[in-house]
Every structure is written in structure tokens, then in C-alpha cells.
Amino acid sequence: MTLLKSRLERLEKDLRFKEWLLVQRIFDTWTDDELEAYATQGCLPANPFNRARPLHGYLDGMDRNAVMKLWEEHQRTFRGRSDDELGLDVKNGHWPEQAGESKQGAAAKVRGDR
């Protein structure tokens, strides 16, 4: 039974990674203004999914291990956060426990701190 559970956990982790990667590639096609509107107001840009990809997205030059490290960092940062915490982060530019630290724009947070 543990073999089956382990395999299922690996498949779930791989699925979460692939979903994150797809979303990052979609965000690559959005402008900073579109990302800002999405992060602060939840507004999707016109035709958000059917756009030409940039010739060189920020993930394109990275190997799988580097991209996996970005995803793991993203998981540590965002996984398990409540909607209230996410909203406060967008509004204030930091998590509640980071009050007083430097602020970062909402677009950069959505895009993944490029």
C-alpha cells in the first residue's frame, strides 16, 4: 500500500508543478498593467489564454532543476495561505508577518519575482 501511496504523491506533485508552469507561461504573455489589474482586482485581460508567447520567456533559458527550485520556492511562499493573507499581500506588498520589510509590486508577485 505504501508503494501506491508514494506513487500517488509523486503524481500529485508533478501535476501541481505542471499547472504552475502553465500559469507562469500564460503570465509571460501579459503586460505589467494586466498583471497588476489581475493581482489587485481579479480582472482578466481580454483574451488572456490565446496569445503568442514571447520569443524568450524568463523560464526558457533554465534547466528543469532550476525551474523546479522556482516552483518549490513558490510553494513555500503561497501554499497554505488564506484568501485574507493573499489579499493583504496584494494590498500591502508583504505578508502580515513581514510588516516593515521592503514592498514589491503586485505584478512582480504574480509573475513570480523575476
Q: Is the pLDDT of residue 6 over 90?
A: yes
**Virtual CA dihedral for 25, 28, 30, 36, nearest 10 degrees?**
100
Q: How far is CA 52 from CA 17, 22, 76, 98, 108, in A?
A: 22, 14, 30, 37, 21
- pLDDT at site 102: 52
The confidence score (pLDDT) of residue 108 equals 61
Angle at 67 between CA 74 and CA 8, to 5 degrees: 75
pLDDT of the residue at 3? 92
- The secondary structure of residue 101, as a DSSP letter, is S
Which secondary-structure segment (H or E) carries 18? helix 2-28
Q: What is the pLDDT of residue 111?
A: 59
The answer on pLDDT for 100 being more than 70 is no
Tens-digit pLDDT profile for residues 40-92? 888 888 888 877 777 677 788 889 899 999 999 999 888 888 888 887 777 77
Higher pLDDT, 114 or 100: 100
* Under 8 Å between Cβ of 37 and 107: no
pTM, to two decimals: 0.69
